[in-house]
Structure 1
Amino acid sequence: MRKLFFILIMVGFISCGDKKPEPFGKASDEVLKDATPIVVDEKLKLGEELFNGVGMCKSCHLPDKKVIGPSIVEIARIYKDKEANMVEFLKENADPIVDPSQYEVMKTNFAITKTMSDDELKAIEAYMYSFLK
């Protein structure tokens, strides 16, 4: 009987642990997940698919390492810092600002990017900007 009483008391103490109330207005993880617009997720997904697929960008650009062309992070950072338009560059309507010495290599890919819609190019741009922290 004493053991049962002791066990019940211990369970009572453990279950009444020090639970701190959350401050008023603090969002839970579920609320934050639901607050992200679906459109953004779809745009990033499309950008990733185009970048890694038909755009063939991945063959020269990796997220944080220079291969043939500059890294995605470097490209996104420079375009953001200079407030330049990546979409216009991909349409071949703007001069190269990241690594002009590699422009001739990149020119061969304009045949692909020029066939893409503005929405597709903006999706690639959004995908590339998503690598900035």
Structure 2
Amino acid sequence: MKKAMAGFSVLALFLCNSWAQDISAQKGKEIFEAKGCAVCHKADMDTIGPSLATIARGYLGKEIELVSYLRGQAPAIIDPARAPVMDPQLVKIRSLFDPDMQALATYIVSANDRPF
């Protein structure tokens, strides 16, 4: 019985964490679209900016670095030579509250989990 309860607890924790990430990614998508990020960043095609897929691969496991970049506190990992093009956009988003900035980063990195 203890093993079954432990297994259930792990499953419940996984489902809650997954659900919370889904909610965070949805909020991040709303911010991404509202702030105009989608104009330059397409799902799977580099245009003015790198694609979400490219950014997600580069920042996978590095959401803290992504948040630091979006706040203007760290250099870009993806295509640093073109990063100055992003500076005006960073001004628009760097003042997001921490939960919103984290949601935005979660949405961007979760592009690894979405089919295109």
Counterpart Cα distance in 1 of 2:86 and 2:47: 13
User: Which one has the bigger helix percentage?
Assistant: 2
Counterpart Cα distance in 1 of 2:104 and 2:63: 17
Counterpart Cα distance in 2 of 1:126 and 1:77: 13
Unaligned runs of at least 5 residues, structure 1: 1-30
Partner of 1:15: none
In structure 2, relative to structure 1, the CA distance for the partners of 1:126 and 1:102 (3 Å cut) is same
Partner of 1:68: 48
**CA offsets 1:81-130 (integer angstroms, 9 cap, x no match):** 77761000000000111011221210001111112011111101111121
Higher relative contact order (CA 8 A, sep 6+): 2
In structure 2, relative to structure 1, the CA distance for the partners of 1:119 and 1:82 (3 Å cut) is closer
Unaligned runs of at least 5 residues, structure 2: 1-10
Q: TM-score, normalised by structure 2?
A: 0.76
Q: TM-score, normalised by structure 1?
A: 0.67
Identity value in percent: 30
2:43 is the alignment partner of 1:52: no
Native 8 Å contact 2:70 2:94 kept in 1:
yes
Aligned length: 101
Native 8 Å contact 1:87 1:118 kept in 2:
no
2:98 is the alignment partner of 1:118: yes
Partner of 2:86: 106
The one-letter amino acid paired with 1:48 is K
